[in-house]
Amino acid sequence: MASTDTKSTVTIRPTCAADLENIAAVHHESFARQSHSLEWVTATANGYPRMRYFVAQCGSGIVGYVVWAEKSGFRTEVVLELEQIAVLPTYRGQGIGRALVESLLDVNEALRARGARVKAILITTRSDNHAWHLYQSALGAKVQAVITDLYSADEAIMIAADPIAHLAKGAYI
């Protein structure tokens, strides 16, 4: 179910090992306070199937990625964490983040193959990160709590209950 946005010729697809260095470059550019990008990305990718990467590819380059992390064991009703999402600054504001979030539909299909489904999405994000608007509109996520000064600032904890139904209704358009 990987998708292509014909307006900007960006393809959303599952990652492969050859993508890791390019994902690390996006990580490095997007998260200035984090270090050792290639090690982080590689360790996360090695967590498959618990961790699932999808990339946004424009031409031959990777311009963004999302990581979905399955929480608390393999269950039939799955809580996923939107572990991390990033889009290169020059590609932001073009709907790529939203398209990456829609990769949740692919994750849900993979889970259905093992008799499971996505029940909810957990998201943590800086309170001043405007991406929380994306999580709210695309997934129906709501802020449940704010933790003061967790990483580099206040961190909002968001939950999206039944996000597949939210996506299916087209509420994100």
The per-residue pLDDT for range 78-89, each reduced to its tens digit, is 999 999 999 999
Residue spans of the domains in the chain: they are 3-168
Q: How far apart are CA 64 and CA 91, in angstroms?
A: 8
pLDDT in the model for residue 8: 55
For the CA atoms of 49, 52, 57, 61, the dihedral, rounded to the nearest 10 degrees, stands at -80
Q: Is the pTM of this model over 0.75?
A: yes
pLDDT in tens, 142-172: 999 999 988 878 999 999 999 999 998 875 4
| CATH node for 3-168 | 3.40.630.30
Read off the DSSP letter of residue 18.
G
pLDDT in the model for residue 128: 87
Average pLDDT, the chain: 91
pLDDT in tens, 101-126: 999 999 999 999 999 999 999 999 98
Q: How far apart are CA 15 and CA 149, in angstroms?
A: 33
